[in-house]
Structures are given as C-alpha cells and as structure tokens.
Structure 1
Amino acid sequence: MIEIGFGPQVCGELAGGTTREWLVTDGLGGYAMGTVSGLRTRRYHGLLVVAGETPASRRVGLVSLDPAVTLPSGARVRLGAHEWSSGVVDPRGFELLERFELVDGLPRWRWRIGDVVIERELAMTHGRPGVAVVHRLVTGGPVRLELSAACTWRDAHGERRADGPAPRMEPADGGAVVEGSVRLAGPDWTPEGQWWLGVHHREEAARGLHPEEDLWYAGRFAGALDRPGDTVSVLAWAGDLADEPPPATEVVAAARRRHRAVVAAAKPADPVEATLALAADAFVVRTSAGPDVVAGYPWFGAWSRDTMTSYEGLFLCTGRADEGRALLRSYAATLSEGMLANTADTGRVEYNTVDATLWFLHAVSRHVTLTGDTDLGDELLPALHAVVEAHLAGTRYGIAVDPADGLLTQGGIPGTALTWMDARVYGVPVTPRTGKPVEVNALWVNGLAGLAELTELAGRDAAELWRLHARAREAFGKRFPSPAGWLHDVVDAPAPAYPLGGAAYHDDDLLRPNQLLAWSLPYAPLEPDPAVLRRVAAGLFTPLGPRSLSPDSPDFAGRHRGGPAERDTAYHQGTVWPWLIGPFVDAYRKSGLPTDDLLVGLEGHLGDYGLGSVSETADGAPPHAATGCPFQAWSVAELLRVRRPR
C-alpha cells in the first residue's frame, strides 16, 4: 500500500492535524474514526460507534481514551485533545506527537516526552462491535499511564447534554458497563462519573449544525510501563457483553492479518490499487439480510444507487464475487413495480429513484460478463424482464417509456428529484431534471442491451429487447446532441415559464457531466467524439474529477460550504464528484484520447482528507478542497475500477 504518515509539522498543528481523518470499521457498519491530531472535530468521531438494525442507525459509545503519563520525575503530561465551547483547546497532546501513520490500514500515533516515547495502536473486531486500543512504551521509562474514558450513548447524528439523565453505569469485571450497552475493560479501573461540559466540534459548526455536546467521564484505567515493549490496553465492545473479545494485542494482530488478506485477494498491480482495495473493504458490510454497502462514512447507510454504481469496483475488482452474488440476490428481492428500493436510512423503505434500478441492470450484466456466472443471470432473468415491462407500462413518479420515441421519461411530481442529482432545499428540488435526463437514457439503452445478452445466454429469444434497444438508441442519437457542442442534459423538460403560444417543453443544454455515460457504458448509445470530450473536459474537469456544472453557468457554486441549505444548493451546481472519474476515463479511453495523467490528482488525494480513501465531494473552485463524507464508496469504487480496465 502507499505510505501514509505525517511528522510533527502536520500532527502538531491544528490546521493540518484536524483536517486529515482516519477510519477503522467492524464489517457491520460500525466504526472508529477521528483525526490525525486526536482532536474530535465531528459529532460522529469516536472510538466505538455501533451500527444498529441498519448501518445508518448508529450509536456513539466510547468517545475517547485520553492518555496521561506520569514521568519518573513525578510530572504528569496529558496526551489527549479536546476543544471546548470557550474556544480553548485543552489538553494539547498533539503538540507532542512526532509521528502518525497508517500501518496495514490501522492508525498508529507516537508521542515523545523527552526520552520517553509511547505508541498507540487501534483496531476493531471484525464481525462484532468492539475496539481494542493498545499503548506501548517504545523508549524510556519507567512511567505510569492513565487512560480517561469519555463515554456517551446517543444517536450518531445528535448530541447528549448534561441537562438530561446521566448515563447509567454498572460495575463489571475489569471495568464497567455504560447504559447496559457498552462494556469497558482494562487494568486498574477507577470509576469517576461526572460530566465534561461544552465539548465543541468545529466541523459541525462549519456545517451549520449544533456543534456542542457534554460527555460522561466514566472513569480511568491505569498501568505501569516499566520497560520498552510493555503495554497498557483497553477493550470496549457492544452486543453480547458477557463475551469478552480476545486480548487487545491479538485484536490488533488479527486486524492486520485480515487487512493483508483483503489486499492480497484483490491482486493489486501497485500500491495505489492495494490502498484502494483496502479502502473498498470498509464499505462492504454484513447485515441480517446478507452483504450490503455503506455509501459513506460517517453519516450514510445503504443507498441502492450508490451500491449498484459501486458494484463492479467494490466486488468484482477486489475478488468478492461470491459476496456480490448474494448482494444482487438480496437487492432483487426488494423490486416493486419494476423499481429497486432506494434506502431505509430515513426509517422506511423508499422507492424514489429513476436510475438505481438501471444501475442494478448494469451491475447484474457486469457480474455475469466478468465472472461467467450465468446461473445468477438465469435466476434473476424474470425479475429483470419485469423491470423492463414495468418501465414500458409506467411506474411510480411518472417513470415510463415514451411510446413516441422509446426513451425514458420521469418526474413532474412536485417535490421529487429522482436522479442522482437529488438535493432539495426546504423541500424544493435544486435540479429536478424532469423529462428525459441524458444519463438515465444512456443507462436505459445500456440496460436493454445487457438484458438482451443475458436473455440469449439463457437460450431465450431476445428479439424484442434488441428492438427496444435499437429504437431507443436511434432516438437518443437524434435527440441529445446539442448545438452548444455537447449533449443536452435533459430533453423534453417542462419549460419553467413560457409566453402565450410558446413551447411547453424545452431541451436543457447546461454543461454537466451526466452526458459522460452516453459514451462510457459498455452498450453506450453514442460513439465518443474526441472534440466533444475535450470541450466537456475544458468546462468540467478538475484534479479530483468532474464538476457537476460548468463555471460558465450563472448558477455555478464554487464552494460546497456553509449550513445545510447552502451546501445542498451547491451540491450539484458545480461541486466536484470524484465518482464521475469512472465514466470520464472510460469515455476518454473509448475515444482514443490519452488517460495517463487523469488520475494523478485523485491518487494524491488518498493522503489528504479521508486517509487511504476518496471523499464524497470537493469544491468546484480551486484549490478543490475536499468536502462531504471523507470516505465514500462510489468514489473509491470508480477510481479502483478505471485503474483496472477489463
């Protein structure tokens, strides 16, 4: 894997040490997450964040373990870090960090106090919610180490305050149980039980959200580090509280072995691919229904559009075809009226996308093509045919094939945004894209051809599917090219206002990246034109991928910043989306244009924000600072996929 590590000039300075985040996951949707400096900047940061019935229903348990070292001189040095509502940062243990690095994907900190050097390593138990934190004396000593456990038990999206009930604590062997949900165990436990008031999260403040909470100081562990190699470790876990995990050092060693095996199974060609293969592993989780995909950490759960867009990169490029097969079967069971369930993150299963189902057709086609698993194609064929039939007949939200041209139309229902550009502000879609969006119809043309091939592989007649494909492909070639020199983003869109006797519909020729799918998909409706692609690149391409809107547009938003309404307004109005690097590179390759230098920026980004991973978004204006989730599934998946063309 690529080397990711930082010295004191990054670790010891807040601007650098707090903007780079690490992530370790448990394979269930839970995680440990924080910053290089150790300062918690998000409400989502913690050492044990536990997934619930769905990956999105997470709860924060163990927030931090603050080290304090008593030196032979008797001096006590605190190595933790907290920011308070007063604006004070205290303690400032990051100022003593001489090194932070990821070793086999696991974070390691190294503090130096004179000739005393202490390392911390952290790992999660895979397949169960638990974390192990190991502290080791490297040089110097003897010293005594105390670890103060700050806890809570709350929804990951909220806060807990001291004006409510204190967390319930019960004694347990080697530690305590908090709220009957999280058990802490380690050496020489001393219960405390008091509130730490006014902990501040600077990233939540920057995102226009409530930035403060109160933490419960549950107690402290302690142990002697007499000679180099001695350790003091703490375990925290949820679930079956009576079933204690293995010793902390064994948890770390097992996590390291597993990470190496994950990378080896992906057969990476170079360190970048190895890093991306391990990053992909964080998003593949096991739920009661089988394998699933977390769209992004720390706040997303499972979204079918993201899952299916990510499918090839996460599963087929990493040696996980068996898990992928089970996932595709599971998702097929959610089909209703020809539509794939979108998400249950909101607390109910929703069917509200026009494209997730088309990405599902693509994912099944790619699975069978790349693995030769025709048995799965045969098994899912009736469900896939039912998808096409439902779209021909018309389904929810006005999604239907237009009998006039064979293209897919959608929308027209107030308050709905059915494409991936689905942001809404105060219930109003920012980019509703009602009509016939370009990428939706590229996916429709692609899906019909992919299904026709699967049908023929099963020994059945696919003539009607090929006829539908040919008709839609011909109509696409006539309708979407724009006089502007690229493709329309939407055709047959309702005109927002038109004079008496004017047209009720118009074709939207805003320069957006959605048109890339018209050239990039395996059964794309158009052959790429190098001159057109160069025009698209000139308006949209950045080092972290394509913008969602050209800066020439009057609605362009160069910064994806501010409160929820400001961020959602900018979300698809110029913000960069790294996942679009996939269709961009595919289209360039198919056109014969050079692609060698297109990934340099994103590969460098692996050490910039979400360490070893790729962010959800970035500012549309230079220097294209990363925004959104630091760890995003389809961003990782698409970068990995286009580095491994098949």
Structure 2
Amino acid sequence: MLNLEESLPREILRTNKSGAYHCTTIVDCNTRKYHGLLVIPVPELDEENHVLLSSLDETVIQHGAEFNLGLHKYQGNNFSPKGHKYIREFDCEKVPVTTYRVGGVLLTKEKVFVHHENRILIRYTLVEAHSATKLRLRPFLAFRSVRQYTHENNEVNKEYQVVENGIKTCMYPGYPELFMQVNKKNEFHFEPDWYRGIEYPKEQERGYDFNEDLYVPGFFEVDIKKGESVVFSAGISDVSTNKLKQIFQHEVNDRTPRDSFYHCLKNSAHQFHNKQGDCHYILAGYPWFKCRARDLFVSLPGLTLAIDEPEEFEDVMETAQKTLRCYMNNIPVDCKIYELDDPDVLLWAVWALQQYAKETTREKCRIKYGDLLLEIIDFIRKGKHNNLFLHENGLLYTHGANKPVTWMNSTIDGHPVIPRTGYVVEVNALWYNALRFVADMLREDENPSLADTLDALAQKTAVSFVETFRNEYGYLLDFVDGNMMDWSVRPNMIFTVAFDYSPLDKIQKKQVLDIVTKELLTPKGLRSLSPKSVGYNPNYVGIQRERDSAYHQGTAWPWLMGFYMEAYLKIYKISGISFVERQLIGFEDEMTNHCIGSLPELFDGNPPFKGRGAVSFAMNVAEMLRILKLLSKYNF
C-alpha cells in the first residue's frame, strides 16, 4: 500500500447493477478519467456515464493538528497530500476496508455502493483515539462525462442548499442534484475553490489528455468518538440520515465474501448486470463498455447459469428476445443493445440458448425459446440478414473487407485491421452447431420433416467446411474468400472443437487443438495470432492507433481460454482435468492484481503477460465460471 508502484495499478470496482459504479485504486487515488466515487448514467444528457463525485478527502484533526488521508497526482509526478503513508491495511473480502494509523488514532473506512440506487455510502469507524477527534470530509466534484474533463470556469453554479445533515448542489444545468449527507449533526464550511492540474497517469499512458481541475465547494466537519461510526452518503436523492447505518449494514450483509476464486468471479459476474426499468442488460465491461450484442450472448451462460441463476438468464433473455425479434422484423428497437447487425450475433444467441438447454432441459428450452430458435434459423436460411448469405455449398458468406464483422473488430481510420471476409471459420462453425442443435430439438418435438431438412443442410455444410477451411498442416484457415485464404494461425478455429456439434472428426479436432496449444496458449488466455505468423504484435501499449493495430495481432484473451479448455476436456475427458486445473491457476493469480477480484479485457501475448484494456471484462469472467462449472461435473 505504501509503494505506489505496487498500489496504483490495483483497482477496485463496485456497481449498483443499474449502470452506476464506483471505481478507483486501492489507495483511493484516481488514475483514470473513468475513476470516481459516484459515476452514474444521466440519460437526460446522453448515453455516457458521468462522474459527479470524483473523490472525498478525509482529514483527521486532533489538538489542532491535521492529518490529510487523501491522495492525488499533480503535475511533475507530485503526489499530495500523501495520505497513503498512513494506511496500515487494506481488505476487500466483503467490502473495501482501509485502516489508517495516525499517531494514537486508528480509523477504518468502508465503502458500499447501494444496489439499484445511485448512492455510495462510506462508513468511518474510530477504533482507537486518546483524545477528542474531528473528521473533515472534503468532496471533489467533476459533473462531467467519463469521456471528457472539467476545467476551472465561470459557468459553474456554486450555490448549495442545506438538507438534513448535509447539502445538495448541482454544478451545471441538466445534471441531477448531488446530495451529500452525514448520519449525524455536522458543520458544512462553504469554501469554494478549484484544485488545479490533477493528473490521470493511465490516460497519459494511453496517449490521451490526462489532466483536469476539480471543484471543491467546501468541507464537512463532524465529531467522532472512540468506537463510533459515522456514515457519509452521496447520491442523487436525499436520504433519512438516521437510517444510514442500517442501510449500510444491510448492504454489507447482502455481499458474498470474496474468499475464493469462484466467489471473486461470482461477485464480478453480478457487477455486469444492468437493469433499466423493464430492460435487463449485460454490460460488456467496465469502465467504458455498453451492452454489446455479441458480448451479451457469449457471456450470458457463464454469468448466470454457471452460478446457478437460471432465472437471471431468463430475465436477460426476455429483453434480448424482444430486441432480436424487433431486429429480424425490421421494427425500431427501443432497447439499448448495440451491434445487433453483426453477422455472428444471431448464431451466438443460438449457442447461448443451447447452454440453457444443457443446464435446464431441452424440453424447457424448446417451450421457452423454440419459436425464437426457428425464427433465427429461418431468418438466415431465407437470406434476410443484410450481411450473411447462405451459399449453395451450405456455408455462410459475409462481407468484412470494409467493416468488421466478428469479435476481431479493431479499426484504424475506419478500416478493419483484420479484414476477415468471405467464409469466416467461427461463423460457419456456429452455423453448423446451430443447425444440428435445432434439428435435434425439432426431432424431439415430433417435427421430423423440418429436422431432416436442417440435418441435410448441416451435412452439406460439414463437407464444405472441411474442404474449405482445413489445410494440409492440420489446422483451419481463418477465413477464405475465393482464391484469397488467410493462413494465419488464429484462435478462432478452437470453437470448432469446443462446440457440441462439429464438422470435424476426432483426429481432425485433435490436430486443431494441438496447434492451438503449441502456438497460441499462454497462462492468461489464447493469443489472437501466432508468434510465427506475419504481423505478430503482442504488446497492447502506446497511443490509440498503436493499440488498435495490436488489439488482435498477438494479445492474449482469457475468454477464448474457456472454449479452449472445453475443447481440451472434449478430447481428453477425465485425463484432461489436471491440465485444465493447472491452466486456471494463471487466472486465480489475477484476483489480487489489476481490478481486484475480476479479470481485465486482455493481456500482452508475451511475458510477463501484463493485463491491459478495460479493468473488468464480462466474457472473461463468464468463461472462467463456465469452465469451473464444467469441471465440477467431471469431478462429480
């Protein structure tokens, strides 16, 4: 905690499951423009999140001496007021708890984000003190989008109104009022000022602007006695302050301890849920991702079924099903699921429902989602998708030269870095898997005629798949467009081995698995490109353009590891368990790094395999949970 090189890269994330979050480093020094104590969506303004309360500096006062526990980075690599030097312990097993020692004072600080409410609560407890003690709380306000910065200006509204044991204020029109209250009588001292030149090193590292000014309206002062707890609340509505202790304790009791790899992932899984009115989404990651269709369907089984929450799966699918039907029937969509028209999205939706059938029963899946599955297959077979064409050979063709069409979607100057176009390997693996799955369900539903039709199409697809993608070296081409073939060794072929229905025979599957193991496997996921392939670029660093060029050119992705381990177990069965368990150790080690208790978006493809990108990524967490569930079945 005292060594900022060790503590600043470690972050904590807490969400309210409705789009708002709190994110910062474990020493409460913000290092990203996305960091803040209270970051919430403001739909009246735009679709971005907005930082209202950036941070809160605490000062312990005894005998007139002041000890400021805050920490900010300023120009010239200066940190002030260096409150981290008073930290004695940090624990986040249940909620983040920081213990400070200042002379004879021992103070703990605990934080919770109230579920489904835009409110953060901070509880201060004076564990030890030998004389009268005051606590001063100084809020740093931003009132800006996570994509922008605030700077000293004359437009800021400095007015505030007194509310029960606190104040409310709003810096700019269009924003909700921010209520800051304490659970006991206190004094608010109005001393408006700007703190200038606060820097965010993570943004500097990523090649963006990295400094801003934050507005401080004043500070609260409250007496605190030995053994007493004081609760501070920041939210967009007032709260009865005599209930703050009770609310805080209720939220603590509702938390699952992060006392194991599984519980860390389970807690992280819950953070991606985003309930807005009647709609239930899965966010692709924090702190900047929205709900993306592909990510939703890939991560949904792991985030719900793998932790025995099928009702959550059904709730999300209710929103997703409505959205898919609107898309297929060309009806305007009012739900905020993005990138629905990517050609593989419908096929990933079928895969997600296939996992539901395996975790519940096929009959239940057929009753709830049978019609949707038929509609998806029919939509594709009849060529209604504007960029997915079923050819005579049974394969699906898509145009991807000018616009990314798969998860490998990075662009530079509007053009795909990897223009995967034509017959794409995982799109057709998904298609074959979908045809066989739906055909089997139809046969159980006593509809043999349509089942036979789909099986015949699947058979044609299987023959063409092997002829088109399999090469003489035993691995699969990444995409094929006429005479143009991509011989790069990429991880997308692993899906063909992992899916329940595959056009490959057992020997062919093992050959694919072997080359993926040999060239793409790392302790942190599968590389997106083999080091032996042209263009290998394993380090996701530098300015935006440099990072975009490396995004899928050798970086390692944990979510792919889920399908790799599933494929490994399919080939080696019980004898593969110990190998898979060893692979999981590399991810368990990450629970105390990066975002504590979660997995970052990607890792560098070369040692030391440093975590990069978004601090918490839904597909990565989901696939680890899905593999843990799969392992438990093998070990049963």
Alignment of 1:329-478 (within 5 A): 329-335=318-324, 338=328, 350-372=339-361, 374-375=363-364, 377-403=366-392, 405-412=393-400, 414=402, 416-461=403-448, 462-478=451-467
Q: Which amino acid aligns with 1:138?
A: V
Give the corresponding residue for 2:544: 564
CA drift of 1:633 comes to 0.7
Give the corresponding residue for 2:503: 525
Other structure's SS at 2:268 match: helix
Q: Which amino acid aligns with 1:441?
A: N
Q: Which amino acid aligns with 1:573?
A: Q
CA drift of 1:457 comes to 4.0
Which structure: greater helix fraction?
2
Return 5+ residue gaps in structure 2 as ranges: 171-175
- 1: CA distance, partners of 2:295 / 2:332: 9
Alignment of 1:113-128 (within 5 A): 113-128=102-117
- 1: CA distance, partners of 2:497 / 2:517: 14
- 1: CA distance, partners of 2:203 / 2:161: 34
Other structure's SS at 1:472 match: helix
CA drift of 1:44 comes to 0.9
Give the corresponding residue for 1:499: none
Is the contact between residue 13 and residue 21 of structure 2 (CA under 8 Å) also seen in structure 1?
yes
Is the contact between residue 141 and residue 225 of structure 1 (CA under 8 Å) also seen in structure 2?
no
- Which residue among 484, 509, 532 is the counterpart of 1:552? 532
CA drift of 1:47 comes to 0.8
Alignment of 1:260-299 (within 5 A): 260=256, 271-299=260-288
Cα 1:337–1:59 shift into 2, 3 Å: closer
Is the contact between residue 196 and residue 215 of structure 1 (CA under 8 Å) also seen in structure 2?
yes
Is the contact between residue 343 and residue 387 of structure 2 (CA under 8 Å) also seen in structure 1?
no
Other structure's SS at 2:534 match: coil
- 2: CA distance, partners of 1:606 / 1:56: 31
CA drift of 1:252 comes to 3.1
Matched, 1:236 2:234: yes
TM (normalized to structure 2)? 0.91
CA drift of 1:359 comes to 0.8
- 2: CA distance, partners of 1:221 / 1:319: 45
Is the contact between residue 332 and residue 340 of structure 1 (CA under 8 Å) also seen in structure 2?
no
Cα 1:567–1:340 shift into 2, 3 Å: farther
Is the contact between residue 484 and residue 509 of structure 1 (CA under 8 Å) also seen in structure 2?
no
TM (normalized to structure 1)? 0.89
- 2: CA distance, partners of 1:145 / 1:452: 67
Matched, 1:514 2:502: no
- 2: CA distance, partners of 1:357 / 1:342: 17
- 2: CA distance, partners of 1:598 / 1:167: 54
Percent identity reads 28
The Cα offsets for residues 478-516 of structure 1, whole Å up to 9 and x where unpaired, read as 32212233111112x2xxxxxxxxxx5222121111111
Is the contact between residue 304 and residue 340 of structure 1 (CA under 8 Å) also seen in structure 2?
no
- 1: CA distance, partners of 2:73 / 2:471: 53
Give the corresponding residue for 2:191: 192
CA drift of 1:340 comes to 11
Cα 1:412–1:152 shift into 2, 3 Å: closer
Cα 1:233–1:485 shift into 2, 3 Å: same
- 1: CA distance, partners of 2:505 / 2:596: 37
Cα 1:519–1:108 shift into 2, 3 Å: same
Matched, 1:616 2:601: yes
Cα 1:139–1:40 shift into 2, 3 Å: same
Cα 1:141–1:61 shift into 2, 3 Å: farther
Q: Which amino acid aligns with 1:450?
A: F
The Cα offsets for residues 4-52 of structure 1, whole Å up to 9 and x where unpaired, read as xxxxxxx111111110000111110111111012110001111111124
CA drift of 1:637 comes to 0.5
CA drift of 1:330 comes to 1.5
Cα 1:393–1:295 shift into 2, 3 Å: same
Q: Which amino acid aligns with 1:250?
A: Q
- 1: CA distance, partners of 2:396 / 2:352: 19
CA drift of 1:393 comes to 2.9
Q: CA RMSD for the aligned pairs?
A: 2.4
Cα 1:251–1:618 shift into 2, 3 Å: farther
Is the contact between residue 71 and residue 141 of structure 1 (CA under 8 Å) also seen in structure 2?
no
Point out the more displaced range, 425-434 or 473-482. Answer: 473-482
Give the corresponding residue for 1:644: 629
- Which residue among 244, 249, 255 is the counterpart of 2:251? 255
The Cα offsets for residues 318-350 of structure 1, whole Å up to 9 and x where unpaired, read as 2221121122122122225649999999x9954
CA drift of 1:234 comes to 0.9
Point out the more displaced range, 135-144 or 316-325. Answer: 135-144
Give the corresponding residue for 1:67: 58
Q: Which amino acid aligns with 2:556?
A: V
Other structure's SS at 2:296 match: helix
